[in-house]
Every structure is written in structure tokens, then in C-alpha cells.
Amino acid sequence: MTVLPRLSSLPGSYGAGGGAVTVTVDVLIVVLVVVLVTTLVEVLGSTVVVGGVLVSVIVTVEVSVSVGA
């Protein structure tokens, strides 16, 4: 969640189309998180880790879309 304020302060987030830029950056971050989660799942094989990260990713996406809209 600490990433969102920094994303909103990017120069691209001002003016027309700023929301789209912010959402695009957030999507890239989510993709990176998914890759990291996949690696963790392979290493740890923990269902609890998967559930916790999925919830955090969903919340992050919802917040990002509402901020970018």
C-alpha cells in the first residue's frame, strides 16, 4: 500500500490520461507480484501464503483502479 502514494505523484499521473498511466504502472507491479508469488509457491508450497497474497493483490488492484479513475 505504501507504493500507491508514490505512483500518484509521478509526472504522468497529472492531466488527461493520468489515470490510465497510473493503472498501467499498477498492472505492471501486479504482474511482478504474481511472478514473485509463483516463485514463492514453488519454493514454499504454502496455501496460506497464496491466499494472503491473492487477497493483497485484489485489494491493491481495486484501490489502484479507484485512484486512477
pLDDT tens sequence across 20-33:
556 677 778 888 88
In this structure, what DSSP letter does residue 16 have?
T
Whole-number pLDDT of residue 18: 53
The overall average pLDDT reported for the chain is: 65
Phi, psi (rounded to 5 degrees) for 18 = -65, -40
45: phi > 0 → left, psi -120 to 50 → alpha, else beta; which?
Answer: left
Q: Rounded to two decimals, what is the model's pTM? A: 0.33
Whole-number Å distance between alpha carbons of 69 and 23: 9
Contact between 4 and 64 (Cβ < 8 Å): yes
Helix or strand (DSSP H, E) at 35: helix 18-44
- The domain segmentation of the chain, as residue ranges, is 35-69
Confidence of residue 17 (pLDDT cuts 50, 70, 90): low
